[in-house]
């Protein structure tokens, strides 16, 4: 029965993801996605997915550097990935030298590092991703109708 329960949870998360987003063609081009899902429901769904994989981590989106894909109303689940498995265009989580966690897209590999950039930013990030600061790759995203206050309020 535990497998059945997880299967149903996965189906519920998929249904939430597929039916929760709405399109607003009258908005700004770089606006974060909108949704009919509450912040608590988005967090709850993200935590279910987080628990299903060893080493996964859920985090609350912040800022507009990845708009229109992600914004303040997004909870992102990251999955561990080997540095050698990275490919251009993947969206990764990495730790900057000041301790901030950043979620940006891989641009190009230079030696044993990757240039990264927010898709809504005019320039590449000043820091590069390397094996030591890589935290994971985007595995799932959950959008809500407004920004959640914090990802830690489980």
Average pLDDT over every residue of 135-148:
89
Q: Is 150 exposed, middle or buried (0-12, 13-18, 19+ CB in 10 A)?
A: exposed
Domain membership of residue 150 (yes or no) is no
Tell me which DSSP letter residue 31 carries. P
pLDDT at position 76 is: 96
pLDDT at 107 over 90: yes
Domain membership of residue 66 (yes or no) is yes
Instruction: Supply the range of the domain harboring residue 42.
Output: 2-143
pLDDT at position 51 is: 98
Average pLDDT over every residue of 104-127:
97
Domain membership of residue 152 (yes or no) is no
Average pLDDT over every residue of 71-93:
96
Q: How confident is the model at residue 54 (pLDDT cuts 50, 70, 90)?
A: very high
**H or E segment to which residue 48 belongs:** helix 39-51
pTM of the model as a whole = 0.74
Domain membership of residue 151 (yes or no) is no
CATH number of the domain residue 51 falls in: 2.10.109.10
Domain membership of residue 149 (yes or no) is no
CA 150 to chain CA mean position, Å: 15
pLDDT at 14 over 80: no
Domain membership of residue 153 (yes or no) is no
Domain membership of residue 113 (yes or no) is yes
CA 44 to chain CA mean position, Å: 15
HEC letters along 60-127 = ECCCCCCCCCCCCCEEEEEECCCHHHCCCCCEEEEECCCCCEEEEEEEEEECCEEEEECCCCCCCCCC
pLDDT at position 73 is: 86
Looking at every residue in the chain, the average pLDDT score rounds to 81
φ and ψ at residue 145, rounded to 5 degrees: -70, -20
Q: How confident is the model at residue 17 (pLDDT cuts 50, 70, 90)?
A: very low
Domain membership of residue 131 (yes or no) is yes
Q: How far is residue 66's CA from residue 118's CA, in Å, rounded to a whole number?
A: 5
Average pLDDT over every residue of 97-113:
97
pLDDT at position 2 is: 45
Indicate the number of domains in the chain. Answer: 1
pLDDT at 144 over 70: yes
Q: How far is residue 12's CA from residue 49's CA, in Å, rounded to a whole number?
A: 11
CA distances from 64 to 7, 24, 57 (A): 34, 17, 21
Q: Please report, rounded to a whole number, the percentage of residues in the chain having pLDDT higher than 90.
A: 62
pLDDT at position 98 is: 97
Q: How far is residue 62's CA from residue 81's CA, in Å, rounded to a whole number?
A: 22
pLDDT at 13 over 50: no
């Amino acid at each position: 029965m535990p497998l059945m329960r997880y299967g149903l949870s996965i189906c519920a998360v998929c249904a939430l993801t597929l039916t929760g987003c709405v399109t607003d063609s009258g908005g700004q081009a770089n606006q974060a996605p909108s949704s009919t899902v509450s912040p608590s429901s988005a967090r709850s769904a993200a935590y279910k997915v987080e628990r299903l994989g060893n080493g996964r981590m859920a985090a609350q989106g912040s800022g507009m550097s990845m708009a229109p894909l992600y914004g303040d109303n997004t909870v992102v689940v990251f999955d561990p990935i080997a540095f050698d498995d990275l490919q251009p265009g993947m969206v990764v989580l990495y730790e900057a030298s000041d301790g901030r966690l950043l979620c940006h897209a891989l641009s190009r590999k230079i030696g044993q590092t990757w240039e990264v950039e927010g898709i809504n930013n005019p320039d590449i990030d000043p820091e590069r991703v390397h094996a030591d600061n890589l935290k994971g790759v985007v595995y799932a995203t959950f959008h809500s109708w407004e920004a959640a206050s914090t990802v830690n309020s489980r």
